[in-house]
A and B are shown apart, each in its own frame.
Chain A
Amino acid sequence: MNFGPIIFLGVLLTFACSWGGFILAPQLQLGRQGLVKTVADDTLYPAPRSGLAQQGAAVYRSLGCASCHSQQVRDQDVPRWGARYTVAQDYLRDQPVQWGSQRVGPDLANVGARLPDANWHLIHLYNPRTTVKGSPMPRYGFLFEKRPVRGAKSPEALQFPEGFGPEPGHEIVPAEEARALVAYLLSLKYDTALFEAPMPQQEKPAEADPGEPQEKAPAAETQPSVK
């Protein structure tokens, strides 16, 4: 191996295989994904996020939430985290995709369906120990404003459980970033049945007679399976 050009060309060739296999081929497969119709009502999936939720996605990225929270429900995670496992199709509109690699905190792929209460999320962000005892999540107090109540209490003020709120005469109001972040969290719902990712109960209907053949899942309305 005394020929620099041979090593150079060999490296180029072997690495081109990796690039072709894991960049070009997935781009041809995943990059061409389009919207698909859902199993239940033939609506196009995934639906676009609201403007506020899209801003919230940027807040989620800038705060580095993905350092602790994943957004991927695997088959074995379904009992704890999701209505169903997630597939590449679910993330078509995510920009950027925030899959994460750690579960220091819970998976958030389906958090909008699991915890649909906006106030819960707001007080959780303000002080995570309010809702989850012993949580190591940092407080995001800088996303909120603490102010004296003048006249009537603001309709946006956080509703704390007893013993946790600010001192009497004060209220905590979410700033724009906090409202956007919660709108994004509530938009994280992967509970729509797809051909490639059916809901678990649809796989085995509870009422079905074991002796009867099960109804076939609708076919040909989505693109080929990617899971």
Chain B
Amino acid sequence: MTHPSTASVSSQQAACGHPEPATVEEINASCRGPVLLPVTLSVLWLVAGSVLWVIASIKLHGPGFLSDFTWRTYGPVKPAAFTLFLYGFASQALLGLALWMLCRLGKTTLVGGFLALVGIVFWNMGVALATLGILGGAATGFEWFELPTYAAPVLFVSYLPIGLCALLTFAARRDRELYVSQWYLLAALVIFPWIFATANTLIAQMPARGAMQAVVGYWYGNNFLTLWLTPAALAVVFYLIPKLAGQPLHSRYLAAFGFWMLMIVGGWAGIPLGARLPAWMPAMSTVASVLMILPIIAVALNLKKTISGQCSVVKSTLALKLSVYSVLAYLVYGVLAALNAHPAVGTITEFTHATSGVTQLALFGFVALAIFAGIYHAGASLLSAEWCGKLAKTHWLLSALGLILSVAALVIGGVLQGRAFDNPDAAFIQSVKKTIPFVGLSTLGMTLWLLGSLALLGNVAYLFKQACANCCKSKEVRS
């Protein structure tokens, strides 16, 4: 029953030879650049990715829209949008927030901040290179690892100094007691280079033979979401919810159960039911996908109990509200993913928009909302400035509305599409025509999401402006 805000670093630590905990000002001064740079750039990539995502979505029902050149057809645009979201936005923002949380939870200043800055600069160059490469036709054709052969190593090498900085900061923590968020961060930071190196080797650099490539692609995609983005996003919500609600975490044991279940089961999901592979692989994944509901329920229950009786605080604190919605999206995603893994449902929804909708819920709902919560909280804290309330409200309302509209449309449209597949007497085009109105609704949803992302970008600019104004004022006062 410990939380960073409530756990005091006792004087016993100093007596044991541990250095005194760093103050918030010292922490902020050490990690301001290495956190704000990736967070700001991630918002830029989010806007760019959302623009491409909307274009791709329009193309699904309006094939003539911007399609006279290779790089403007649906084929390259969709993977480019997905890659920007995964690597430019989500991974980068979570890396920045991870550095910040490791400092705050460990009550230490950032160790090796320069290393992280160098890594972040190269990471962004890698993302730009990958996006241009994909639009130019160099994608690999594996949904979660579309990175061109020449861009993937750039991202891997860029990650190393960032990961090293994070691990050094973790090791230098002055509060030796570990909080749940630190477990998740440690896991995510160790697993990411492992899965990335495996995919880079067996998909991009030295491709495995035949169907084995597909296995690597499925394994990577699943673990990228389940054991990289998920633990990093969970670290954010486990950090923010107790802190902002002013309550200790409900149960550390339940948190430990959720953590280890995720670690044990999470890596086995991901192979679709109908994959043309030996039957044991989809069977294992089905079992894992259903079992995954346990850690998800453990997390949701733990955090629900933590905020029980704090409704008014949740409503009035934006970062807390976003964290709660993020956990809610995670829970709904868990249920849908488990249903999808069941043969009665999975045989209908496989290859349809429904699977895209469920993935979208995980990425744009659970992961992105957790990131937004982290950005709102960390940004204000690091710059000692206030966000624009109106822009923030516009952002989250548009994002939530767009997300719900897009996911619901894709899931319902996908189920109808899947049922149409199974009638071999009807022409295939009938299944496509059934989805058109739903894809149109998804486009509308993603357009709202894009507008929300623009509001966030505007708010980031506003925050920096406020910080500059505050800085100037304090200088005037001093002089």
Contact = CB atoms under 8 A, between A and B. Distances in A.
B214 to A, nearest CB: 5
Nearest to B79: A64
B210 A91 contact: yes
Given A23-B198, A106-B428, A138 B59 contact: yes
A36 B33 CA distance: 59
Contacts of B260: 10, 14
A33 B67 CA distance: 41
Interface in B296-328: none
Q: Which of A62, A90, A139, A227 has the most CB of B within 10 A?
A: A62
Given A18-B223, A67-B74, A96 B141 contact: yes
Nearest to A143: B70
A15 B263 contact: yes
Given A15-B194, A96-B213, A99-B276, A26 B281 contact: yes
A106 B424 CA distance: 12
Interface stretch (B45-53, B184-192, B235-243, B470-478): B184-192
A126 to B, nearest CB: 13
Residues of A in contact with B, size category: 35 or more
Contact of A135 (B73, B186, B355, B432): B432
Contacts of B138: 62
A64 B139 contact: yes
B429 A135 contact: yes
B232 to A, nearest CB: 13
A104 B264 contact: no
B202 A134 contact: no
B198 A97 contact: no
A92 B219 CA distance: 19
Name A's interface SS.
loop
B96 interface: no
Contact of A2 (B177, B207, B268): B177
B366 to A, nearest CB: 20
B271 A22 contact: yes
Given A26-B215, A30-B209, A76-B422, A62 B277 contact: no
A85 B433 CA distance: 26
A85 B274 CA distance: 10
Given A63-B70, A64-B75, A136 B277 contact: no
Given A72-B276, A76-B422, A142-B70, A18 B267 contact: yes
A12 B59 contact: no
Interface string A67-105: 110101110110110000111101111111111111111
A217 interface: no
Name B's interface SS.
helix
B63 interface: yes
A204 B203 CA distance: 40
Contacts of B63: 128, 135-139
Q: Which of A73, A80, A87 has the most CB of B within 10 A?
A: A80
A27 interface: yes
A63 to B, nearest CB: 5
A136 B432 contact: yes
B451 to A, nearest CB: 25
Interface residues of B, number: 90
A79 to B, nearest CB: 4
Contacts of B263: 10-11, 14-15
B432 A4 contact: no
A64 B74 contact: yes
Interface string B172-183: 000011100011
Contacts of B121: none
Contact of A88 (B227, B270, B277): B277
Given A10-B263, A64-B74, A91 B211 contact: yes
Interface string B435-459: 1100000000000000000000000
B179 to A, nearest CB: 10
A72 B59 contact: no
B351 interface: yes
Nearest to B73: A138
B376 interface: no
B75 A132 contact: no
A73 B214 CA distance: 15
Q: Which of B203, B215, B431 has the most CB of A within 10 A?
A: B215
Interface in B409-432: 417, 421-422, 424, 428-429, 431-432
B61 interface: yes
Contacts of B274: 72, 74
Given A80-B424, A135-B63, A64 B78 contact: yes
B118 interface: no
A138 B74 contact: yes
A1 interface: yes
B75 A67 contact: yes
A14 B267 contact: yes
Given A26-B277, A227-B279, A70 B351 contact: yes
B271 A104 contact: no
Interface of A: 1-4, 7-8, 10-12, 14-15, 17-19, 21-23, 26-27, 29-31, 33, 61-68, 70, 72-74, 76-77, 79-80, 85-88, 90-107, 128, 132-142, 226-227
- Nearest 5 pairs of A and B residues by beta carbon: A64-B75, A18-B267, A62-B137, A88-B211, A79-B424
22 contacts: A1-B183, A4-B186, A14-B267, A15-B194, A17-B267, A19-B198, A22-B271, A23-B198, A23-B215, A26-B215, A26-B277, A30-B278, A62-B138, A63-B75, A74-B350, A80-B424, A87-B276, A102-B355, A103-B351, A103-B421, A136-B63, A142-B70
Interface of B: 59-64, 67-70, 73-76, 78-79, 137-143, 170-171, 176-178, 182-183, 186-187, 190-191, 194, 198, 202-203, 207-219, 223, 227, 252, 256, 260, 263-264, 266-268, 270-272, 274-279, 281, 284, 347, 350-353, 355-356, 417, 421-422, 424, 428-429, 431-433, 435-436
Given A138-B64, A138-B73, 10 more contacts: A11-B263, A15-B191, A22-B284, A30-B210, A74-B274, A79-B424, A80-B428, A101-B355, A102-B352, A103-B421
